[in-house]
Structure 1
Amino acid sequence: MSNSKQILVLTGATGFIGKHISNYFVNIGWYVIALVRNIPKKNEENICYIKYDLVSEIDVSLPDQFDAFIHAGYLKQENGNDAFALNVNAVEKLLKGLSNKQVGAKLFLSSLSADQNAASVYGRQKMAIEELFLKENGIVFRAGLVLGEGGLFGVMANYLKTKNKIPLFGSGKQPIQTVYIDDLVLAIEKIISKKLTGKLVVACNEAVTYRDFYEALAISVGSKPRFIKTPYWLAGLGILIAKFLRIQLPISKDNLLGLKQMKHISTAGDLKKIGIELIDYKESFLKLGNRRKEEKFTQ
């Protein structure tokens, strides 16, 4: 590793968003220290993988000085675990371990779902962790629905490639604000380079309704959408039954609760402060479609 390289310490580096963050920063000349639960078999140039579990009691050895720390790791609510306590306690321990080090920027990858009164465990724990980072004069990066070949969006896109039935919850007018994965990582770099701190929301200012979004997504992957009106209570019951029968569904109870509480958030001011223009969901679908075509062509 060259001493001239800037250093990023990143949790969740093998996840959908984490991989993009890691690859992007390596491509612009950084050195990435990736804290991961399972070390990949394939070595990557300028990435040092270190085995680390968010629930582990073992402290991880990090340099005394580095340029940025990004927390993109997350423990899901599953198998009866207390995801709220596990995630919050893990971050408290991580930040305590950084207290005696010189760290240029501390960024937490949060979500528009973050709310102390959220019905979902996901939303409440995101809010609790946000407060921990803000106390450290860190950066809270609230992302909209991330569009790319992975994450919740990737699961739904893959589902619609073979099926066309889409549950329509409520009126189907829930507002969805998106961010394309390439825009997300660029925004992170800009925030760090500008030494911004505090809470910043990165999502298209203009929302699209749930129905319009999934209709456009289905068409983009070659499916003819068929909406089925589904009361929230019935969807919740279906998720419980599927869990009991160990059937994997594209959405979870937390996803459903988060959808029910969706509301539009103004992002224009934050995007201007960061200095970035985001592409909308339609252009994102086009870019993802072109990527898939290129991958098929090169295979």
Structure 2
Amino acid sequence: MSESKKVVVITGAAGFLGSHLCDRFIKEGYKVIGIDNLITGDLKNIEHLFKLEDFEFYNHDISLFINIPGRVDYILNFASPASPIDYLKIPIQTLKVGSLGVHNCLGLAKAKNARILVASTSEVYGDPEVHPQKETYWGHVNPVGPRGVYDEAKRFQEAITMAYHTFHGLEVRIARIFNTYGPRMRLNDGRVIPAFMGQALRGEDLTIFGDGTQTRSFCFVDDLIEGLYRLLLSDYTGPVNIGNPQEISLNEFAEEILKLTGKNVKVSYKPLPVDDPKQRQPDITLAREVLGWEPKVERAEGLQKTYEYFQTLSQEELYKEVRIFN
């Protein structure tokens, strides 16, 4: 490995987004150090990188002190449960990784004089009263509701990141990530696309919580990774929405999934969970202006690639997480 290569640390490296980030930075010629405690991540997402000289992996919980010897140029903190099923099942760990974990990452960045990008989320807007959501909107969040463990962990993460920037002069970047999908998502993790596709593959009715009029905006993972890469290397320190502004209702989206899969199943409805957002649509004006970024992949193309990935899963994988979480 050349000593001139820049070193990037990626936490949550074995997760959906983290693994794609590892791929991108390896492709760009960086040395990548991945960290994950594998609570929700899966080594199969990064096992193809193990043979590479420029990839290292640490099985470690970032809620504990992080020790990385040698040079570090960039840190991308993506260590956190991100699906409702996960953070409702492990609420304390979710709060710890969003507080102690990000504190440790910021401390590492300070010690190494490294730039850090933290993965925030559209959930900082809560169930929004402003639509579409701009970075200047402060949100509508219930801190003691069931989703508060995730929402408030991410809001704290933004606050402490900016505190390190203003007090210590640390170079920081904050990405507010909206609904993202693509290969390597876990089936039935509580998010819309894998839930719908998993149900279709098993021949089950698609489940919509609420009346289906609530909206989401789905960004394909390749587009998101490009936005994150540009944000890290930009000069902008404030939060930036990264997502696809093309909004669709869940009723309309379920019809798209039924058409894509060709499955003869129905749509069933269940009560809307507490504090579930009724609308999700990013205003990406800022991303267009400061990053020159906007999504390129059409939803039909992205969904086709995602469905093809899920079709490659074994029967054991197809049913495994249903047994765990039901």
Q: Is the 8 A contact 1:164 1:223 kept in 2?
A: no
Q: Deviation at 1:215?
A: 2.1
CA distance in 2, matches of 1:28, 1:294: 28
- What are structure 2's unaligned runs of at least 5 residues? 82-86, 126-138, 166-171, 314-326
Structure 2 residue 67 is matched with structure 1 residue 60: yes
Structure 2 residue 293 is matched with structure 1 residue 276: yes
Tell me the TM-score normalized by structure 1. 0.79
Structure 2 residue 177 is matched with structure 1 residue 143: yes
- DSSP-derived class of the 1:97 partner: helix
After TM superposition, list the pairs within 5 Å mapping 1:236-247 onto structure 2. Answer: none
Q: Is the 8 A contact 1:7 1:67 kept in 2?
A: yes
Q: Deviation at 1:224?
A: 3.6
CA distance in 1, matches of 2:264, 2:289: 37
Q: Is the 8 A contact 2:62 2:104 kept in 1?
A: no
Q: Deviation at 1:159?
A: 2.5
Amino acid at match of 1:4: S
1:118-171: CA deviations, max 9, x gaps? Answer: 441222211111222222332111111111121433344223222341233333
Aligned equivalent of 1:44: 51
Q: Deviation at 1:88?
A: 1.1
Tell me the TM-score normalized by structure 2. 0.73
Q: Deviation at 1:28?
A: 1.5
Structure 2 residue 119 is matched with structure 1 residue 109: yes
Q: Is the 8 A contact 2:36 2:61 kept in 1?
A: yes
- The number of aligned residues is 270
Residue 10 to residue 288, structure 1, CA distance change in 2 (3 Å): same
Residue 110 to residue 224, structure 1, CA distance change in 2 (3 Å): farther
Residue 96 to residue 148, structure 1, CA distance change in 2 (3 Å): same
Identity fraction in percent? 17
- DSSP-derived class of the 1:288 partner: helix
Residue 272 to residue 205, structure 1, CA distance change in 2 (3 Å): farther
Amino acid at match of 2:62: L
Aligned equivalent of 2:6: 6
Residue 44 to residue 141, structure 1, CA distance change in 2 (3 Å): farther
Query: Which of the numbers 217, 224, 240 marks the counterpart of 1:177?
Result: 217
Q: Deviation at 1:277?
A: 2.6
Q: Deviation at 1:205?
A: 1.6
- The range that moved more, 269-278 or 193-202, is 269-278
Aligned equivalent of 1:265: 282
- The range that moved more, 1-10 or 42-51, is 42-51
CA distance in 1, matches of 2:194, 2:270: 22
- DSSP-derived class of the 2:89 partner: coil
CA distance in 2, matches of 1:174, 1:280: 21
CA distance in 2, matches of 1:27, 1:87: 29
CA distance in 2, matches of 1:171, 1:87: 32
Amino acid at match of 1:187: G
CA distance in 2, matches of 1:155, 1:148: 13
Query: Which of the numbers 97, 100, 114 marks the counterpart of 2:108?
Result: 97
Amino acid at match of 1:275: G
